[in-house]
Structure 1
């Protein structure tokens, strides 16, 4: 079975006797300039036919470099096209590996990698970093009453609504099931609350009835904010635990709300601000 290289399955590496060998340096038969470029191009074609596009890409790059200094410096258009195609396939494969297949939001792998990097970047700085855990309210009832196919469409539309007005640098990732995470780098606490409350409102006010008569969808959001340099920096896990505790507080207060913390006080944003908060064990601590 093929092995994994850089996180992607591919065929076994090409053996030495599977591809044309490059003549040794100093050989009278060793081609130069254009001839060497053509040899690299030939090897690239063989590798590409076997699906070994990473190795093919490197040989094509070598061909381009050689052609640029050969007697005929013009690089064939077909060669340029092949290099660009392989570069695009590489980028697309990388992007697809970081996306959720259903909603096209980022996946848990990307979330873990990117959030850890952002927290490291923000450690000791004044830049804010907000993490919001978003959960669809009563989503099991949507699946039970309208079917899983419509439930999938609801998840896709909710992600579109969550991403609709995110600030630059922010992103949405699927955390699991009907839970999503909004990461807001550089956002101060007030801005983060505004962004999350606007997202919650867009979901509530969306015309769900057009998708299915009687359908109504809302979300509850727990918003945690990484505090300034005077505080010990939180890990990615701690940040998500804090957001989860606040999400629980929002659900205990009646759902369809954004719960956040000001100092030691948990508050609800927007229209939910007047509700009574019921604090459970998951809502204790930052």
Structure 2
């Protein structure tokens, strides 16, 4: 966790478009809680243009809150960091962060912040596919905010409930929540929040009407389709006026995408293309690759023109974004569209492959939801035990942040720590700068052979010690800055820059020899320990594929007799 930046270094973190009032507030804030909360406010604004910048500012705010002993500012910072982590596709980190915020709420009786915490947890759950959990969190957030008369949290929850409804394919439920938002806005005359919520109201309604029109077209209900298109276009006229009063690149991008969809369904293909290109331009300005709407409306437009291969390319680009962020509902929606397109073109084999992928994605999402629930319970127990140990809340928070990325048995990175490190290499614009020499990467999987026999013959305690020593042996093969972690069970993964494929094979062979050549007699007097190794070489943008290739080579090494490297030396 970085230290809070000095005032001289703030200019490096602040985006060029930071509003003057936020800059003035930050520079005028004395050290302590006021400065931490000012950093939180700037980080919240920064999310629209740079997630990595927002994350750096949020971590700086958290450091300042820890330093000045302000639980309130720490919770505010954790809420923001959880939102950013979810947007970056770091679901485990997001849920861990929001769980710590919730634990601090209980410990310090900061009940007025509970609605904001539930709002953030709901967004994280929805991204991961837990629609039921997200809906319950948002309803609880609305009820709490209404009871506390906190209009900001209530409005945010209603906006999120409308988004959830659209994501789940229920535009009428979305319009219901937006009507409640409009009623809330009427109670906020002369409140700056009203302008922000008005923009959210119009964008949300445009989204709902676009979805309603699309569904009506699929059902062959021409009158309902025309009515939804007309209502959506009327809402967008109001949205343009609201954007003049409250400029927002994100809202402008989404409104352009919704208008493109509505114009396409209205039969105005040239207007639809102009708005789709505008949405894509705004997406490029944001440089975040967060929104699939530009690709989706363009894919549907190209499909309506019969340009099927070009449409598939746009769907693939949208899928890349959704997969990266583990957005289950969007992945399913996009795969369904791709499968339908293949089927209409008579490409039945491709359609079947997409259906299989959708089923696999659904199972993966379910595993993630279940794993997140188990992790939440585990973290809650750890935090309560730490509180019972009478350590300070600052020490507990720092320790929890380290433990979240570290395998407790070996001290190496755990799977979450590895995933975050890999993402930083794959998407440097969002997750931090990529080291200059990481242009070609070796991905190496190492798996201890017949590890079950170790546990069966010598006990799990001995097995744990074996894994610690394997971790130490592998650590001796890497350089500072390399990624090395325990991927699960007796499997380890190493990612390091290389210049040639020969260097990658040499590293893989060195890992194998380190395990085979170690003196295991003290721990395993009647056993010989070996390891199988698989590796792949890739560019950073193809890391997910390289992980699968390296894993496949690992199993080839095992099937070929173990204690070997696959592929063979080039």
The TM-score normalised by the length of structure 2 is 0.31
Question: Which residue, 426, 444, 448 being the options, matches 1:119?
Answer: 426
Task: Report the CA distance shift for 1:142/1:187 in structure 2 as closer, same or farther (over 3 A).
Answer: farther
**2:505–2:569 CA contact under 8 A, matched in 1:** no
Name 1:243's counterpart in structure 2. Answer: 550
CA drift at 1:235: 4.2
Specify which structure has the higher proportion of helix: 2
Q: How far apart, in 2, do the equivalents of 1:100 and 1:52 lie? A: 22
Question: Which residue, 94, 105, 108 being the options, matches 1:12?
Answer: 105
Name 2:524's counterpart in structure 1. Answer: 212
Name 1:135's counterpart in structure 2. Answer: 447
Q: How does 1:1-286 map to 2 (within 5 A)?
A: 5-6=97-98, 8=100, 10-12=103-105, 14=108, 86=394, 90-121=397-428, 127-186=439-498, 188-227=500-539, 233-236=541-544, 238-260=545-567, 267=568
Q: How far apart, in 1, do the equivalents of 2:438 and 2:448 lie? A: 32
Q: How far apart, in 1, do the equivalents of 2:492 and 2:99 lie? A: 24
Name 1:30's counterpart in structure 2. Answer: none
Q: Which runs of 5+ in 2 are unaligned?
A: 1-94, 113-386, 429-433
Q: How far apart, in 2, do the equivalents of 1:186 and 1:89 lie? A: 38
Task: Report the CA distance shift for 1:203/1:174 in structure 2 as closer, same or farther (over 3 A).
Answer: same
Name 1:32's counterpart in structure 2. Answer: none
**1:137–1:217 CA contact under 8 A, matched in 2:** yes
Task: Report the CA distance shift for 1:16/1:160 in structure 2 as closer, same or farther (over 3 A).
Answer: closer
**1:129–1:188 CA contact under 8 A, matched in 2:** no
CA drift at 1:167: 2.0
Q: How far apart, in 2, do the equivalents of 1:4 and 1:195 lie? A: 34
CA drift at 1:256: 0.9
Q: How far apart, in 1, do the equivalents of 2:497 and 2:537 lie? A: 10
Q: How far apart, in 1, do the equivalents of 2:539 and 2:443 lie? A: 12
**1:170–1:183 CA contact under 8 A, matched in 2:** yes
Moved over 6 A (4+): 51-54
Task: Report the CA distance shift for 1:179/1:154 in structure 2 as closer, same or farther (over 3 A).
Answer: same
The answer to which structure, 1 or 2, has the higher relative contact order (CA under 8 A, 6+ apart) is 1
**1:118–1:185 CA contact under 8 A, matched in 2:** no
**1:132–1:196 CA contact under 8 A, matched in 2:** yes
Q: Indicate the RMSD between aligned Cα atoms, in angstroms.
A: 3.4
Q: How far apart, in 1, do the equivalents of 2:447 and 2:411 lie? A: 17
Task: Report the CA distance shift for 1:115/1:91 in structure 2 as closer, same or farther (over 3 A).
Answer: same
Q: How far apart, in 2, do the equivalents of 1:207 and 1:17 lie? A: 57
CA drift at 1:213: 1.2
CA drift at 1:186: 4.8
**1:250–1:268 CA contact under 8 A, matched in 2:** no
Q: How far apart, in 1, do the equivalents of 2:438 and 2:403 lie? A: 34
User: What SS does structure 2 have at the residue aligned with 1:208?
Assistant: coil
CA drift at 1:171: 2.4
Deviation per residue, 1:209-245 (Å, 9 max, x gap): 12231122111111011049xxxx3242x22211111
Deviation per residue, 1:27-51 (Å, 9 max, x gap): xxxxxxxxxxxxxxxxxxxxx9xx9
**2:483–2:494 CA contact under 8 A, matched in 1:** yes
Q: Which runs of 5+ in 1 are unaligned?
A: 19-47, 55-85, 261-266, 270-286
CA drift at 1:259: 1.2
The TM-score normalised by the length of structure 1 is 0.58
CA drift at 1:119: 2.2
